[in-house]
């Protein structure tokens, strides 16, 4: 019988081999260098056999004697299953959207259609200044809230310092943790955290499209503190270095871990910056630094909070587009009408959907699930308790169904 450590090592090696077939697959790896595969990629059919054998071996590991072992194995098993699904996908066998959500991210997100979003659009009609087409009105209204590229360093720097300060007051991460920020272009995402190990992240911001002021705290918290940078640093500290659980030294993008990573990074924005504190920091610090009149913050953020209710539009469009129910033109029209994104932005979003498929659910449903899970565990109106619950979840990760079962 194999031990969990042996299964974990095989999982890491399998993941790295899958990564040779798709450059986005392995998002981070900081385990032993001699676990890297030979230069010549293994054939997909052979990889599939390896993955199925690993799955059978993993199912044979007995964990009934210990809760911690059981938790670890449940999480690992969901990841091995996701690897099998992803190899199938690389072989051209795609599941329908909702089956893919379950197979790769271990959840079944709720389904919303136009009638749900129409109600949100009606609220926005009343809230956004101006007349006529809502998408154009919103676009015109937002122009004033762009952060110009020459101010981006200062504005983003202030936001990340504040997010870091707020996070480190409650979460204990290694003292030598650090990050660099780089401006890049020509990407399907708006920002990315590349975790390099040893508590270090490279955070990239994409300047293809303007960055609006609301994105500044979102990105600082999501990519940095208490988002991806902190999550990865906690995993490395507690699980990889502390317990020697090597399956955590690799982070596969298309796996259940992403639901928690994106979900907690999004929910972490609100944990670090509750509404009133955020409003104060925006109007006293960020708006002045960006040269935007501070008295305009209140309405802008009221509109943003309603816009947030449109985040599930991505799932609706991705499902219809990937399941072949709508074509490119119809998908862009749906994004423009219901996500209220410009035509150019909608095309970029569709490229993101093509590249990442059901991954879109990790942001919205991931966020809601993390929020619900924590509300069931701690008093989320008590800041210290909420931070403790948040930090515990990041240090002892759960998949979607593990959060739902708790
Ligand atoms: Zn993210």
Q: Where are the domains of the chain?
A: 4-93, 114-405
If you measure from the C-alpha of residue 260 to the centroid of ligand 1, how many angstroms do you get, rounded to a whole number? 10
If you measure from the C-alpha of residue 358 to the centroid of ligand 1, how many angstroms do you get, rounded to a whole number? 14
Q: Residue 226, preceding bond cis, omega within 30 degrees?
A: yes
Residues 6+ apart with CB under 8 A from 179: 200, 201, 202, 203, 224, 229
If you measure from the C-alpha of residue 197 to the centroid of ligand 1, how many angstroms do you get, rounded to a whole number? 17
If you measure from the C-alpha of residue 384 to the centroid of ligand 1, how many angstroms do you get, rounded to a whole number? 24
If you measure from the C-alpha of residue 263 to the centroid of ligand 1, how many angstroms do you get, rounded to a whole number? 8
If you measure from the C-alpha of residue 17 to the centroid of ligand 1, how many angstroms do you get, rounded to a whole number? 24
> In this structure, which residues have their CB less than 5 angstroms from ion ligand 1?
262, 265
Torsional sign, CA 383, 386, 392, 396: negative
If you measure from the C-alpha of residue 92 to the centroid of ligand 1, how many angstroms do you get, rounded to a whole number? 26
Rounded CA separation 278/44 (Å): 48
Instruction: Give the closest residue to 366 by CA, choosing from 275, 269, 278, 274.
Output: 269
If you measure from the C-alpha of residue 262 to the centroid of ligand 1, how many angstroms do you get, rounded to a whole number? 5
Q: What is the pLDDT along the chain (406 residues), one digit of tens a residue?
A: 569 999 999 999 999 999 999 999 999 999 999 999 999 999 999 999 999 999 999 999 878 788 999 999 999 999 999 999 999 999 999 999 999 999 999 999 999 999 999 999 999 999 999 999 999 999 999 999 999 989 999 999 999 999 999 999 999 988 899 999 998 998 878 889 999 999 999 999 888 888 999 999 999 999 999 999 999 999 999 999 999 999 999 999 999 999 999 999 999 999 999 999 999 999 999 999 999 999 999 999 999 999 999 999 999 999 999 999 999 999 999 999 999 999 999 999 999 999 999 999 999 999 999 999 999 999 999 999 999 999 999 999 999 999 998 7
If you measure from the C-alpha of residue 364 to the centroid of ligand 1, how many angstroms do you get, rounded to a whole number? 11
């Amino acid at each position: 019988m194999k031990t969990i450590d042996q299964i974990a090592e095989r999982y890491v090696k399998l993941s790295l081999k899958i990564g040779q077939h798709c450059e986005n697959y392995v998002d981070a790896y900081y385990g032993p260098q001699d676990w890297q595969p030979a230069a010549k990629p293994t054939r997909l059919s052979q990889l599939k056999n390896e993955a199925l054998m690993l799955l059978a071996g993993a199912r044979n590991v007995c964990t009934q004697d210990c809760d911690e072992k059981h938790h670890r194995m449940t999480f690992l098993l969901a990841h091995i299953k996701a690897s099998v699904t992803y190899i199938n996908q690389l072989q051209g066998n795609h599941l329908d959207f909702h089956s893919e959500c379950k197979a790769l991210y271990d959840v079944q997100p709720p389904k919303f259609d136009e009638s749900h979003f129409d109600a949100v659009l009606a609220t926005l009609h009343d809230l956004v200044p101006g007349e006529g087409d809502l998408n154009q009105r919103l676009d015109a209204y937002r122009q004033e809230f762009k952060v110009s590229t020459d101010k981006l360093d200062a504005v983003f720097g202030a936001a990340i310092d504040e997010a870091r300060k707020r996070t480190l007051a409650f979460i204990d991460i290694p003292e030598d943790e650090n990050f660099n920020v780089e401006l890049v272009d020509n990407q399907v995402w708006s920002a990315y955290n590349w975790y390099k190990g040893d508590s270090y992240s490279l955070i990239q911001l994409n300047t293809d499209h303007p960055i609006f002021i609301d994105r500044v705290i979102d990105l600082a918290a999501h990519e940095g503190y208490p988002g991806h940078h902190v999550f990865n640093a906690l995993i490395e500290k507690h699980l990889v270095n502390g317990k020697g659980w090597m399956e955590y030294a690799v982070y596969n993008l298309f796996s259940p871990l992403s639901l928690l990573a994106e979900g907690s990074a999004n929910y972490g924005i609100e944990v670090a910056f509750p509404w009133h504190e955020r409003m104060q920091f925006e109007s006293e610090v960020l708006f002045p630094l960006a040269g935007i009149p501070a008295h305009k913050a209140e309405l802008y953020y009221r509109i943003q909070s309603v816009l947030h209710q449109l985040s599930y539009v991505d799932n609706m469009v991705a499902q219809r587009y990937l399941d072949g129910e709508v074509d490119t033109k119809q998908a862009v029209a749906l994004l423009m009408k219901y996500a209220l994104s410009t035509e150019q932005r909608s095309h970029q979003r569709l490229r993101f959907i093509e590249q990442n498929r059901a991954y879109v659910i990790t942001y919205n449903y991931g966020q809601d699930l993390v929020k619900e899970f924590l509300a069931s565990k701690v008093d989320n109106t008590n800041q210290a308790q909420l931070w403790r619950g948040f930090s515990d979840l990041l240090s002892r990760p759960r998949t979607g169904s593990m959060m739902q079962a708790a």
